[in-house]
Structure 1
Amino acid sequence: MTLNEVAKHTGISRANLSKIEQAESKTVPAPTLNKLLDLYKVDDPPVRAAMHELSKLAGLKGWWSLYKDLMPQTLVDFEAEACAIRTYEAQVIPGLLQTPAYADAIFRANRVRDDSEIAQRVTARMARQSILNRTNPPTYLVIIDEAAVRRMVGSASVMSEQLRHLRHMAARDNIDIYVLPFTAGAHTSTEGKYLIMDFPDPRDASVIYLESPTTTMFLEEDEQIRLYNDMFGSTQSCSMTPAQSLDFLNQRVQELEE
């Protein structure tokens, strides 16, 4: 049906229909939705109920809206949709695997944030980790440079707790942790950290996320994706296996707790 035909049958203005179809309307009022469902002969009660539930949820902001000034919202959106996440981290433990005490120490290293902002940032980071606890979590492949494992962040007790948390997370079926040892020498990821997100629909290209103290960047070109896929694969091949990495983490925890 054309917009004019739908408008004629439902009494909904053509302008409103256009906004709905172009996703320019944040919500669809229940009476409007019912008129459209009736016109399109959607008679199955569960389907109608589901459509109304979607209409309600469309007006709700995600949890990250509370922390929109503290993290890039687009990153959170992409992470929520991803079926697989791959990351290389050179300096610190990746944010999705940080403990509250470790995250607090990282944010305090800036030395310009007050306690209130630091607390907000830690809360936001912990909330972001919820994607790993959902019913169908993404596959998470993590390469952590040995420097990040050995670097004393906070205190020995903070580091010990953090590394024990890594061991716990590594036991999950969807998470593999690789430690890149100093003995690997120069490698393809020497220029810094990055995040690769893959999505369940094969028509959706992977997205590369880069971050610096002053800006963030998303890369989506085929050539860029191939480059970072090759970088990750090459760096992964230089790393300890997950089993070797777990042994290394155990050794490091023992050193910290002696």
Structure 2
Amino acid sequence: MHSTFSPTVRRRRLARELRRLRESQGLKLSVAAKTADVPQSTLSNIESADARRIKARDIDALVDLYKAPEEVRSALHELARESKEQGWWSSYKDVFGGNAIPDFEAEASMIRTYQCQVIPGLLQTPRYSEAVFRGGRAYSDDEVRRNVDARLQRQHILGRYQPPHFWAVIDEAALRRRLDDPEIMQEQLQHLLNMATRKNVDLQVLPFNAGMHAGLSGSFVLLDFPNPADPCIAYTETATASLFVQDSDSVQRYVTIFSNLNSAALQAPHTTHFIQQIMEQEN
């Protein structure tokens, strides 16, 4: 049975709480590890959210050392159990690798993204998504099918009970990129218009006439979570790697960039009209 929450978010929360408890007692990591009889490398991995398997005995020893109340002990054990669960994306390790964006999307309350080359993955139609993966000629037919299937699985979060608020700023270039079959792009643009009518979806187009703008360094995603204990993170991709940015100053820079893009982009009613115009021009 796969979980519908994020094991990684749970692991990060457990790490922050144990670090907070240690620091509240004025203990250095090395001293806490020695006193609780927990290997220092183990405690370091737990506090950095790198530990995949956390022993109940280690949590009990640390809770005793930090003099935390019983309800905290229970909550920490629950977080440790949940951090071991596997989400549906664990079946797609060949697609997502070790850093799975659905792991964070599963628990996000808001997802903000700027996309400069293609339509955001969460808004792609199956045929458009297939065209994206075939475009680089880097995937076999089977790999294309796996990638498209994984992308469609990700999209379920937008239609679930209490879905995240999805806010996308899309560069005009992504809307005008020509495909071998123009019908696929028409279908994709119509899908954007349909999705824009949902209460939890905001779409904005960043037109060419906006000139130079804050997002020239490339596409990115910002993920916010409902629990204040889970800070916002940023996500970006290169040709060879997926990068999660968690440093607060770096994340704030992405937040500022998105705010500037939001200001430069067309607002919702104008975006709808703009997409309709493109559809008429390309038809």
Q: Does 1:19 align with 2:45?
A: no
Partner of 2:129: 103
**1:190 counterpart residue number:** 216
Note the 1:39-188 alignment, pairs <5 A: 61-72=86-97, 73-188=99-214
- Size of the aligned set, in residue pairs, is 213
Which one-letter code corresponds to 2:120 in the other structure?
P
Secondary structure in structure 2 of the residue aligned to 1:191: coil
Alpha-carbon distance in 2 for matches of 1:21, 1:148:
52
Task: Report the 3-state secondary structure (helix = DSSP H, G, I; strand = E; otherwise coil) of the residue aligned with 1:87.
Answer: strand
CA-CA distance at 1:71 after TM superposition: 1.6
**Secondary structure, in 3 states, of the residue corresponding to 1:205?**
coil
1:248 pairs with 2:274: yes
| 3-state DSSP of counterpart to 1:103 | helix
- Spell out the pairing of 1:215-254 with structure 2 (5 A cutoff): 215-254=241-280
1:122–1:21 Cα change, 3 Å: farther
Q: Note the residue ranges of structure 1 that are not aligned, 5 or more in a row.
A: 1-17, 24-39, 41-54
> In structure 2, how many angstroms separate the alpha carbons of the residues matched to 1:133 and 1:95?
15
SS in structure 2 opposite 1:91? coil
TM-score with structure 1 setting the length: 0.77
Separation of aligned partners in 1, 2:229 and 2:85: 28
Question: Following the alignment from structure 2 to structure 1, what is the Cα–Cα distance between the partners of residues 258 and 85?
Answer: 37
For residue 163 of structure 2, what is the amino acid of its counterpart? P
Greater C-alpha radius of gyration: 1
- d(CA) in 1 for partners of 2:100, 2:156: 16
Determine the structure 1 residue equivalent to 2:230. 204
- Gap runs ≥5 in structure 2: 1-53, 60-69, 71-80
Provide the secondary structure at the position in 2 that maps to 1:78.
helix
- 1:220-245 per-position Cα deviation (integer Å, ceiling 9, x unaligned): 11211211111000111000001100
CA offsets 1:85-139 (integer angstroms, 9 cap, x no match): 0000000001010011001011001213111111111001000111111101000
Q: CA deviation at 1:154?
A: 4.1
Q: 1:30 aligns to what?
A: none
* Counterpart residue type for residue 116 of structure 2: A
Q: Amino acid of the residue matched to residue 20 of structure 1? A: A
Output one character per residue of 1:5-55: Cα deviation in whole Å (capped at 9) or x when no partner.
Answer: xxxxxxxxxxxxx823658xxxxxxxxxxxxxxxx9xxxxxxxxxxxxxx8
Q: Which amino acid aligns with 2:249?
A: E
Runs of 4+ in 1 over 3 A off after TM superposition: 20-23, 57-61
Matched-pair contact (CA < 8 Å) for 1:87–1:196:
yes
1:67 is displaced (CA, Å) by 1.0
The normalised TM-score by structure 2 is 0.70
What secondary structure is seen at the aligned counterpart in 2 of 1:69? helix
Root-mean-square deviation (Å): 2.4
* 1:19 partner letter: K
Residue identity matched to 1:252: I
| Residue type of the alignment partner of 2:56 | I
Partner amino acid, structure 2, of 1:135: Y
